[in-house]
Amino acid sequence: PNLEHPAYPAAALLRLESLVPCRESQVSMLLSIFGERQQFSFPSIFIYGHTSSGKTYVMQNLLKTLQLPHVFVNCVEYFTSQLLLEEILVQLQSCSSKPEQASHVRCNTSNDFVRLFKQAVVSQELQDQTVYIVLDRAEQLREMEANILPAFLRLQELTDRNVTVILLSEIVWELFRPSTGCFEPLTLYFPDYSIGHLQKILSQNHPPEYSADFYAAYINILLGVFYNVCRDLKELQHLAVLNFSKYCEPVVSGEANERDTRKLWKNIEPHLKKAMQTVYLREISSSQWERLQDDDGDPGQLKGLSAHTHVELPYYSKFLLIAAYLASYNPVRTDKRFFLKHHGKIRKTNFMKKHEKTSNHLLGPKPFPLDRLLAILYSIVDNRVAPTANIFTQITSLVTLQLLSVVGHNDQLDVPRYKCTVSLDFIRAIAR
Amino acid sequence: FRETNNESGDSKLRLATCQSLWNQIKSETEQIQEDLNKQLFDNLVDFLRRSHLEFQEKTTKWNCQMKSREIPAAALVLGVNVTDHDLTFRSFSEVLRNNVTRYIALLEAKDCPDVKNLMQKLMGQLMNCYIEVDSLEDEDSVQVSQNRIRCSMTSLINWYESVTKTTDSETPSKKRASSSRLWLSPPVVVIFRDMESFTTKVLQDFIVISSQHIHELPLVLIFGIATSPMIIHSLLPYSVSSLLCIELFQSLSCKEHLSSIIEKLLLTNQFPFKLGEKALQVLINIFLYHDFSVQNFIKGFQFCMVEHFYTQPLSVLCCQLVDAKKRVNSLSHDQCENVRKLPSFRRYVEAQVSEKQIALLTEDSVLKEIVQKLLEDMDVYHENYISVLRCLHVFTSSLPKYPLGKQIRELHCACLENQVWETEEYESSLQLARMLNKSDLVTMLQQCVEILVSSSGNEFDKAVEKLKEFLTQFQKLEEAFQERDVSVSSQKELQKKTDLYHLQKTLLELKESRRSKKLTKFEMLRLEVVDYIDSLVRKYLVPADHKTLHEIVYFNTASVLRGHLNAAPRIALHTALNNPYYYLKNQALKCDGGSISNKAPDICIVYKLHLECGRLINLVDWLEAFSTVVMSAEGPNADAASSDQVDDVVHARFIRAVSELELLGFIKPSKQKTDHVARLTWGSC
């Protein structure tokens, strides 16, 4: 038992410990900050760490097992400050023991929020406990009104109630700090899980039909294949479940027993490698993958998403796109040389200046005006092109297809400028 | 229709014919579309059914618990013909509503600049569709509450729960029938019509939000993609796309769609109205060169039809043969005169003997009889034409390099254009056909036999017999071939005893002789076959405009079509300014090319003057020239007074005209020189 705290029952702590493996030090740190129920805690805590390092999971389990009054809100989901504040109030109303129907309140500003929050705390009889407000994906707060983040940081002071705000984010605090300055929260870092941690956590949830050792061996193989490319716990777990039935196949058919790791490894390894190229990249969906496993099909039949790169375009759209590409990647000066029949002599010596040696492809596409696009189009198409409305609508439809993009304002009718956004490979495929 | 100079009854009849024909065609095309999309829709419906099985059964199996729940998503690749998508999506949601779920929201990028709008739109559509289904509820109360409702996922979930609960608790007798089709908790389908246009942030946020609630709300996303599925990866970062379980569905390519439409609309005898070569070519060109839109093709076809019925008084006869015969009998004298005016009919008359010529030109009854006969001929001609065209297509479509085109529509155009057997391409394709190997030839012949047998025309009995005869001959040839093989091998056995050099020599000789001998026999047969096909083509694939009375059913004025469908704003503007008579039809404006008339509107004068200038135009010179032109109208009596000073009125007119030109985008003020404007166009157009 690593977790010890006089304020909380030992059984709950033990359960908590089993729920959050490999995060004992962080949890005990948090517990010591929280103190006892009635004690005032630090006003705001900022927890950061990489994707799936267990921030949300640890906080949820911690607050739930210890039965601390808390509110858990995801800032992506409640995308405006009004929604966010109202959601906090609603959750607060329902978090006490009595299941009273939460009445809807309107709350537009942080001023209202402070007032309503005080009321809610009183009505729920939470004055003598610390209320925790957890804001997940707190980086979204920066995009709301400027006063929201500072207000949350010193909510304890503003409301004069026992409340602690916990911000969870994937980015460091330095990127949050507003220019006007604010209350500095206590920052806490959740480090990435090491490979040992991953092994331990993943093996914990073994299926009931098989022994823990058997599953652990499987996880070991899985990590051996995937650890180099993916350290996301969630993703690894997903992959583990997806491929486990394949791993068990020899055991089920009786070809090998559970201890025959070598044989099992030989069976699963190519399969996992294939999975890395397909499912992991979401080239084919996991349900398709499962079906493939079930009927032992060859994944080669199922073409992934990137296999369908070919785009069929109408004749003139192709030329328009090629013209746009040329206009984007060739400097204006060379137009005369490339597209005019009688372009005169090229002086080779000073044609290539030094800085132009870097390929234009490295610099990315440059914007070009509509006139230039059409001029190039007329010169690359063999027969005469009538400037009909059809041609112009095709330019717009190329823009909606995201093959071209408009530079500058959308409503600038005067001289619209475009950029070509497709790659050289795409153009090559079209030009064929 | 009212403006035609015929009596009203006739034009009414034409209108009715046109409308009924169009309705037929419309239903036919819709049917085709439905059939083509059926496969795709079936797959999608299947996918939707499958996608939330787990939600249905509430399984507690180990692997279902452990797996992170992904949002099922279908990537629907529809091709670049965005205009067609509307219809596809509409029929798709119809199918869904009938088969899977009634909770469908169709989102467009232009409605959803941010997540808030997206959610509002989504909830509005979902809740409205609920009201549509059972209108028991008080509409007003719902309307009011909808404005007040908080647009968040929680309220959406609450709504979903309440909806599914009420459906469950409703009287079983009423719901029993439908619940076998729609199950207890139907998925909520969100269709993103144009995935490319959505901003990444909106999509990402929405997916993240909905992935949090996938346990409570069975959501299915459908992405309509116009370009390639790679766009998903470029729009969504890995952290988001890993929340999705994407399956790919590909719709039929629009080219195939067009081919089937052409096949069903033009290459049948079902519809009396036909497109001539030039008109068809214009429509196909618009399709291939510009938009890939089948809808536009059909619209163009409709336009051709309307135009044909509007301009051609004899189009009354453009209907099914039985009706046409009746209508011929009731033709008025004017109409008969119209028939006589038709160029093809005149050609026909000139080919007749003189007594008959007179009879045809003077007596209406004789004319009617002949017209009936000719119409019948026409019908038979169409029937034969189509069958033989298909046969020829069987041959030409497998030749290397496709001298006559790969698609049957290309062949059709070639045949309509002129006598196909006179073209070089036909010659070369026959030459190639003479080099076909046997197995190909046999399969082609079999296909031809099938086509001819299935066609309703009864002229083909002989042709079928002939082709079958060829087939049996081929078979015999094959048998003979095998027999000889056996005999040759026995010969070889005998010769094995001689020395090696001799053996080689004799074998070579044998081989050569065998090849030349057998090939001649096979070749002869092959030649015969090709010649026979050639004769069929010459007999039946006569271009339509060689047929008498083809004007009645063929629409061939491509210039009108082009003028209406290929809008050319620049050219129209140029003609309007350069030659105002073209649009204004004012006799005073009629002028001969070069000179600048002073009666034209000011802007035309200014425009013409500016055409003569270079890139930068001096305003003073321009004004000078303008006033000269205008003043010449006033006559010689005024010139003395205003020789050196430009009249204020003229000045004002000039300024107005110039600013009008600027508004039209021909010039813009230049910063390089004061008193100058820059031309934005080049050349003289």
The verdict on a CB contact (< 8 Å) between B70 and A286 is: yes
CA distance B246 to chain A (A): 5
Beta bridge partners of B76: B224, B249
Option in B67, B233, B566 nearest A238 (CB): B67
The verdict on a CB contact (< 8 Å) between A78 and B150 is: no
The verdict on a CB contact (< 8 Å) between A305 and B115 is: no
* pLDDT band at residue B667 under the 50/70/90 scheme: confident
For residue A315, list chain B residues with Cβ-Cβ distance below 8 A: 288-290
Option in B62, B196, B233 nearest A402 (CB): B196
Task: Kindly identify which residue of chain A lies nearest to residue B153, measuring between CA atoms.
Answer: A77
B211-237 residue pLDDT tens: 877 777 778 888 888 877 777 777 887
The pLDDT, as a whole number, for residue A308 is 63
Option in B50, B153, B232 nearest A305 (CB): B232
* pLDDT band at residue A350 under the 50/70/90 scheme: very low
Three-state DSSP state, B616:
strand
Residue B409 and residue B262 in contact, taking contact as beta carbons nearer than 8 Å:
yes
Read off the tokens for B293.
Answer: 């839109």
The verdict on a CB contact (< 8 Å) between B70 and A285 is: yes
Residue A24 and residue A3 in contact, taking contact as beta carbons nearer than 8 Å:
yes
Average pLDDT estimate for A97-101: 50
Does residue B193 surpass a pLDDT of 60?
Answer: yes
For residue B151, list chain A residues with Cβ-Cβ distance below 8 A: 83
Q: Mind giving me the DSSP string for A24-68?
A: HHHHHHHHHHH-STTS---SEEEEEESTTSSHHHHHHHHHHHTT-
The pLDDT, as a whole number, for residue B172 is 39
A297-332 residue pLDDT tens: 444 455 556 666 677 788 888 888 888 888 888 887
A382 interfacial to chain B (CB closer than 8 Å): no
- The residue with greater pLDDT, B134 or B206, is B206
Q: Best of A390, A421, A423 to disrupt the B interface by mutation (most B CBs within 10 Å)?
A: A390
Interface of A with B in 310-329 (CB under 8 A): 310-317
The verdict on a CB contact (< 8 Å) between B150 and A86 is: yes
Q: Best of B223, B247, B284, B289 to disrupt the A interface by mutation (most A CBs within 10 Å)?
A: B289
User: What percent of chain A is modeled with pLDDT above 90?
Assistant: 0
A401 interfacial to chain B (CB closer than 8 Å): yes
The pLDDT, as a whole number, for residue B369 is 82
The pLDDT, as a whole number, for residue A303 is 56
Task: Kindly identify which residue of chain A lies nearest to residue B204, measuring between CA atoms.
Answer: A76
The pLDDT, as a whole number, for residue B181 is 42
List the single range of B24-33, B539-548, B571-580 with lowest mean pLDDT: B539-548
| Beta pairing class for A417-420 and A163-169 | unpaired
Residue B298 and residue B31 in contact, taking contact as beta carbons nearer than 8 Å:
no
List the single range of A280-284, B118-122, B653-657 with lowest mean pLDDT: A280-284
Longest dimension (CA), chain B: 124
B517-554 residue pLDDT tens: 555 677 777 777 778 878 877 877 777 777 777 777 78
Q: Which residues contact B388 (CB under 8 A, 6 or more apart)?
A: B536, B537, B539, B540, B541
The verdict on a CB contact (< 8 Å) between A314 and B150 is: no
The pLDDT, as a whole number, for residue B145 is 45
Read off the tokens for B18.
Answer: 């046109």
Residue corresponding to tokens 């790791």: A261
Read off the tokens for B209.
Answer: 């939000």
Domain A10-189 -> CATH class: alpha beta
A80 interfacial to chain B (CB closer than 8 Å): yes
A136 interfacial to chain B (CB closer than 8 Å): no
**Taking CB atoms and an 8 Å cut-off, how many pairs form between chains A and B?**
154
CA distance B408 to chain A (A): 19
For residue B115, list chain A residues with Cβ-Cβ distance below 8 A: 79
Q: Is the ipTM of this complex over 0.85?
A: no
For residue A105, list chain B residues with Cβ-Cβ distance below 8 A: none
CA distance B279 to chain A (A): 18
Cα A64–chain centre separation? 26
The pLDDT, as a whole number, for residue B129 is 64
Task: Kindly identify which residue of chain A lies nearest to residue B562, measuring between CA atoms.
Answer: A388
Distances (CA, A) of B550 to A14, B6, B262, B279: 94, 21, 20, 14
Closest CA to B245 of B213, B227, B221: B221
The verdict on a CB contact (< 8 Å) between B286 and A390 is: yes
Interface of A with B in 156-185 (CB under 8 A): none
List the single range of A123-137, B43-57, B644-658 with lowest mean pLDDT: B43-57
Which of A269-283, B46-60, B230-244 ranks highest by mean pLDDT? B230-244
Beta bridge partners of A73: A135
The pLDDT, as a whole number, for residue B499 is 62
Option in B116, B151, B246 nearest A305 (CB): B246
With 0-12 / 13-18 / 19 or more C-beta atoms within 10 angstroms meaning exposed / middle / buried, residue B513 is exposed
Longest dimension (CA), chain A: 92
Quick one: DSSP state of residue A145?
-
Alpha-carbon gap, residue B350 to B186, rounded angstroms:
73
| Torsion angle of the four alpha carbons A332, A336, A338, A340, in this order, in degrees rounded to the nearest 10 | 150
CA distance B329 to chain A (A): 46
The verdict on a CB contact (< 8 Å) between A80 and B570 is: no
The verdict on a CB contact (< 8 Å) between B245 and A286 is: yes
Distances (CA, A) of A297 to A253, A264, B83: 18, 20, 38
For residue A229, list chain B residues with Cβ-Cβ distance below 8 A: none
State the number of CA atoms in the 13 A half-sphere of B144 facing the CB: 4
* pLDDT band at residue B147 under the 50/70/90 scheme: very low
If one counts every other C-beta atom within 10 angstroms of the C-beta of residue B674, the result is: 8
For residue A237, list chain B residues with Cβ-Cβ distance below 8 A: 66-68
For residue A308, list chain B residues with Cβ-Cβ distance below 8 A: 77, 228-230, 248, 250
| Residue B575 identity | T
Domain boundaries, chain A: 10-189, 195-307, 315-339+360-431
The pLDDT, as a whole number, for residue B58 is 46
Does residue B658 surpass a pLDDT of 80?
Answer: yes
Which domains does chain B carry?
Answer: 33-55+68-129+185-252 (3.40.50.300), 257-480+520-555 (no CATH), 569-634+646-679 (1.10.10)
List, as own/partner pairs, every contact residues A115-124 make where C-beta atoms lie below 8 angstroms and the sequence separation is at least 24, other chains included: A116/A89, A117/A88, A117/A89, A117/A92, A117/A155, A117/A159, A117/A161, A117/A163, A118/A159, A118/A160, A118/A161, A120/A89, A120/A92, A120/A93, A121/A92, A121/A159, A121/A161, A121/A163, A123/A93, A124/A69, A124/A92, A124/A93, A124/A95, A124/A96
Alpha-carbon gap, residue B154 to B168, rounded angstroms:
21
Residue A63 and residue A56 in contact, taking contact as beta carbons nearer than 8 Å:
no
Read off the tokens for A130.
Answer: 């610390």
B320-336 residue pLDDT tens: 777 777 887 777 778 78
For residue A400, list chain B residues with Cβ-Cβ distance below 8 A: 82, 194, 196-197
* pLDDT band at residue B635 under the 50/70/90 scheme: low
Q: Best of A305, A316, A318, A320 to disrupt the B interface by mutation (most B CBs within 10 Å)?
A: A305
Alpha-carbon gap, residue A112 to A24, rounded angstroms:
38
Beta bridge partners of B106: B191
> How much is the pTM?
0.76
Closest CA to B185 of B127, B102, B244: B102
Architecture of domain A315-339+360-431: Orthogonal Bundle (1.10)
Residue B543 and residue B382 in contact, taking contact as beta carbons nearer than 8 Å:
no
Task: Kindly identify which residue of chain A lies nearest to residue B212, measuring between CA atoms.
Answer: A77
The pLDDT, as a whole number, for residue B516 is 55
Mean pLDDT computed over every residue of chain B: 74
Closest CA to B604 of B619, B617, B615, B591: B591
Q: Mind giving me the DSSP string for B227-282?
A: S-THHHHHHS-HHHHTTEEEEEEEPPPHHHHHHHHHHHHTSSSS-S-EE-HHHHHH
Q: How far apart are the two ends of chain A, measured CA to CA in Å? A: 69
Interface of A with B in 214-233 (CB under 8 A): 232
Alpha-carbon gap, residue B374 to B328, rounded angstroms:
11
Task: Kindly identify which residue of chain A lies nearest to residue B149, measuring between CA atoms.
Answer: A104
